[in-house]
Amino acid sequence: MSPGEQIGSLRRKLFGDPARAFGSISLVLLVMLAISPAKNFFSEWRHYQKGYLKLVRTRADALTLQRHFSPGFQQIWLPEMGAVDRCTTCHVALKETSLSDVGAQPYRPHPPIPHSLTQFGCVVCHIGQGAATTVEEAHNSTKAWEQPMLPARYLESSCGQCHLGPLPGTPQLNLGRQLIARYGCVRCHTVMQPDGTRMMATDDPPSLEHIAEKTTREWIYAWIKNPQAYAVTASMPNFQLTDDDARDVSAFLMEQSRPLPAIHTQAAGKAGPASPDATAGASLYGESFCASCHAVQNAAGALVGGDLGPELTRIGSKAKPEWLEAWLRDPSRYDPDTKMPHYRFDPKNIATLAGFLEAKTDSDLLADVHLSEATPAQVQRGKALVAEYGCASCHEINGIKKPENFAPELSRVGSRSLAVLAFPEGVPHTLPDYIDAKVRNPRAFGPGLKMPQYTFTEQQRSAITTSLLALTDRAQTQPPALRTAAVHESNYRPAGKAGRLMRDLRCFSCHAINGRGGDMAPDLSWEGSSVQRPWLVEFLKNPETLRPALIRRMPRFNLTPDEINTLTDYMMVVYQTPTVDRDSMPVSSFTPDLVEQGRQLFYSKYACQSCHIVDPKKDKGYIGPALWSVGARLNGAWVYAYLKDPQSMRPGTLEPNQHLSDGEARSLTAFLMAQKSARQAAKK
């Protein structure tokens, strides 16, 4: 039979007469009607639900698990958050902690988090298409859905949508936010936080209005070509300027600089020539605790010192000697907003320290920099470049205004549509990858872009991406009740003579008081309730560390007795907590019996010697402050209040609350207040 005949015979068999035709068409109709239920029956989610029932059948708690299971479509609907999540249709065991040994998805229980899954749903944190019912559509991006699920490494960004301040469980998010502020990203990019405040930078780029007083054109040239060649810790990014660009920008910066006579007024002649005595310089550098804030690279290449001030490894190649001396005499004359305190150095010390610092040079740094006299055309071009690269976003520069909205606003960057983004080759088409690539190598996104090159590590970059992804539409539009606010720094300024003195000494660079200031040193808001006046006077004369395990960081400022009196009077009166009555626990009220009782508690019941030293011969613990002279340092009422609840007196302190009874706290206070000096302790 030929193929034509075959078809003909088949047609006759099926549609030969009306009855056959009716039967065949009905059959076709039935099959077609069955397609939809069949699709439903064989759907992925049903498959997973069946798989789950099979999985739990053999388990010890099978009955409980089966009772918890509800078949069919599941949905979490949260209108106020705009979430319709059907994820729990397949992820059926999210709340079954007994299945924690199950490795295969979609049956893993959700790891413990502080939120209820029913209240927050899934996509609020994980992104993805919540309403979808297939694996592909729910997890990945499709033609109709841009945002795939958030990779686990960026998951903390979701916490940041509501939690505007740091959280203990989200180190990446916290680090990213710190970096964005620390590296001045927000000086060019506006970031409005969901609570309506603007994210502020925490870096301190110097004013360039008097730059010629401070350094040379050659150094500026080398610096702007590659800031990290001068200091590995430099926070200024690399603008990848050409030699010509750097020549012209340095020419313009020198040209716009105005003289600053104020820094020379007391200077000339008094200080004498810089002293070459390196030993004296090094010990003065150490005694003045410069290393608390400034780092220097040692011979092994490791950085030694703090990061509050600029690195000083090659300072001699940068600073002019006369500027350095003027700066050491009083930094605020050159930079009124500097974080550096005004040390009361005498002229001899200034010469010694300046000489020591001037010797920190690097002959390679400026070896290849040969600049001829700048022409007016170069200066003009330099000015144009400075304006073009937005240098004035960070630095004050004569003749150039701080640009407004210099770079794209990032307040909602976490919801940016992929359709409007141009991806360079090799970058996967997702938002996290886009942001990460942008931070890694901004100039790869096309010629003519101005964003400079940073030197972040992979970990830092991913932290920055995490914190940027938190800036979503949802964060901006959700009900304010869902937000937990960040603590913003107060604008507390102490008044009067003491206030001026505290500003001159830059106490707030390291200490916080009443919600403003640094975190390097203890909070002083309640210092007046806590310490005894004679101790504070001695401490300011000659600070010593209270914690044997800590490096002392508080410098001696060479204060006059008058200045010390002003400061202590002010602190003792003003920095008081209303919860401690200084006179409520006089030492005279402590009997020897009470002291002995306290000793027992200290050594036996509470083993305080694990962390504190009362008897320097016997006790070894050095994590907490040494207590051999605590009776001469602290106020009794404060000690009592502190023992009762350490965290309320010093938030974040390591000392655990021992839940002492009133009597125990009183005995311990009596024992501690009896510790007057190390000599007394040694005598026992």
Contacting other proteins (CB under 8 A), which of 15, 145, 535, 622? 622
- Is 108 a binding residue for other proteins by CB under 8 A? The answer is yes
Contacts of 224 by beta carbon, 8 Å cutoff, 6+ apart = 239, 241, 246, 249, 250
Q: Provide the sign of the torsion angle of the four alpha carbons 346, 347, 352, 358, taken in this order.
A: positive
- Is 74 a binding residue for other proteins by CB under 8 A? The answer is no
Q: Which of residues 522-561 bind other proteins (CB under 8 A)?
A: 549
Q: Which is nearer to other proteins, 358 or 436 (CB)?
A: 436
Q: Which of residues 394-453 bind other proteins (CB under 8 A)?
A: 428
Q: Which is nearer to other proteins, 149 or 665 (CB)?
A: 149
In the complex, least distance from residue 83 CB atom to other proteins, rounded to whole angstroms: 18
Number of H-type helices and E-type strands within the chain: 32, 6
Query: Encoding tokens for residue 154?
Result: 């960026």
Contact between 604 and 652 under an 8 Å Cβ cutoff? The reply is no
Q: Which is nearer to other proteins, 169 or 276 (CB)?
A: 169
In the complex, least distance from residue 656 CB atom to other proteins, rounded to whole angstroms: 4
Contacting other proteins (CB under 8 A), which of 283, 455, 600, 610? 610
Strand segments (E) across 55-194: 76-78, 83-85
Contacting other proteins (CB under 8 A), which of 1, 32, 104, 481? 104
Q: Which is nearer to other proteins, 250 or 467 (CB)?
A: 467
Would you give the binding string for other proteins spanning residues 46-65, x where CB under 8 A is met? -x------------------
Would you give the binding string for other proteins spanning residues 150-179, x where CB under 8 A is met? xxxxxx------------xxxxx-------
Query: Residue 645, class by beta-carbon neighbours within 10 Å (0-12 exposed, 13-18 middle, 19+ buried)?
Result: middle
Q: Which of the 8 DSSP states describes residue 27?
A: H
Contacting other proteins (CB under 8 A), which of 100, 298, 589, 677? 100
Q: Which is nearer to other proteins, 139 or 182 (CB)?
A: 139
Q: Which is nearer to other proteins, 397 or 668 (CB)?
A: 668
- Is 40 a binding residue for other proteins by CB under 8 A? The answer is no
Distance of CA 336 to the CA centre of its chain: 26
Q: With CA atoms as reference, report the closest residue to 337 among 204, 458, 519.
A: 204
| DSSP secondary structure, 252-293, as one string | HHHHH----GGGTTTTTTTS-SPP--HHHHHHHHHHTTGGGT
Q: Which is nearer to other proteins, 15 or 456 (CB)?
A: 456
The span of 267-275, 329-337, 615-623, 669-677 binding other proteins (CB under 8 A) equals 615-623
Contacting other proteins (CB under 8 A), which of 46, 95, 139, 360? 139
The span of 41-49, 323-331, 380-388, 531-539 binding other proteins (CB under 8 A) equals 41-49
Cis before 106? omega within 30: yes
In the complex, least distance from residue 101 CB atom to other proteins, rounded to whole angstroms: 4
Give the CA angle between residues 327, 331, 335 to the nearest 5°.
Answer: 110
CA dist 171 and 639 (Å) reads 33
- Is 112 a binding residue for other proteins by CB under 8 A? The answer is yes
- Is 140 a binding residue for other proteins by CB under 8 A? The answer is yes
In the complex, least distance from residue 435 CB atom to other proteins, rounded to whole angstroms: 16
- Is 573 a binding residue for other proteins by CB under 8 A? The answer is no
Contacting other proteins (CB under 8 A), which of 76, 92, 106, 132? 106
| DSSP secondary structure, 91-118, as one string | -TTTT-GGGTT--STTSPPPPP-SS-HH
Q: With CA atoms as reference, report the closest residue to 350 among 273, 294, 264, 262.
A: 273
Q: Provide the sign of the torsion angle of the four alpha carbons 389, 391, 392, 397, taken in this order.
A: negative
Q: What does each C-alpha distance from 283 to 278, 289, 291, 295, 354 come to in angstroms?
A: 9, 10, 12, 16, 13
In the complex, least distance from residue 593 CB atom to other proteins, rounded to whole angstroms: 22
Which amino acid, one-letter code, is at 298?
N
Contact between 251 and 374 under an 8 Å Cβ cutoff? The reply is yes
Contacting other proteins (CB under 8 A), which of 83, 84, 135, 201? 135
- Is 299 a binding residue for other proteins by CB under 8 A? The answer is no
Q: Which is nearer to other proteins, 42 or 404 (CB)?
A: 42
CA dist 673 and 595 (Å) reads 9
The span of 105-113, 206-214, 288-296, 533-541 binding other proteins (CB under 8 A) equals 105-113
Contacting other proteins (CB under 8 A), which of 14, 658, 676, 678? 658
| DSSP secondary structure, 614-652, as one string | SSTTT----SSPP-TTHHHHB-HHHHHHHHH-HHHHSTT
Q: What does each C-alpha distance from 659 to 329, 439, 637, 641, 643 come to in angstroms?
A: 51, 49, 17, 12, 9
Q: Which is nearer to other proteins, 170 or 292 (CB)?
A: 170
Task: Count residues binding other proteins (CB under 8 A).
Answer: 55
The span of 40-48, 200-208, 233-241, 359-367 binding other proteins (CB under 8 A) equals 40-48
Contacting other proteins (CB under 8 A), which of 143, 656, 661, 684? 656
Q: Which is nearer to other proteins, 69 or 606 (CB)?
A: 606
- Is 604 a binding residue for other proteins by CB under 8 A? The answer is yes
In the complex, least distance from residue 195 CB atom to other proteins, rounded to whole angstroms: 24
The span of 292-300, 356-364, 530-538, 652-660 binding other proteins (CB under 8 A) equals 652-660
Q: Where are the alpha helices (DSSP H) in 226-371?
A: 227-230, 243-256, 278-287, 315-318, 321-329, 347-358
Q: Which is nearer to other proteins, 338 or 462 (CB)?
A: 462
- Is 623 a binding residue for other proteins by CB under 8 A? The answer is yes
How many Cβ atoms are within 10 Å of 661's Cβ, its own excluded?
Answer: 9
347-358 vs 278-287: helix crossing angle, rounded to 10: 110
CA dist 198 and 202 (Å) reads 13
The span of 145-153, 344-352, 375-383, 481-489 binding other proteins (CB under 8 A) equals 145-153
Q: Which is nearer to other proteins, 206 or 518 (CB)?
A: 518
Summarize as ranges the residues that interact with other proteins (CB under 8 A): 42, 44, 47, 98, 100-101, 103-106, 108, 111-114, 135-136, 139-140, 148-155, 168-172, 428, 458-459, 462, 549, 604-607, 610-611, 620-623, 646-647, 652, 654, 656-659
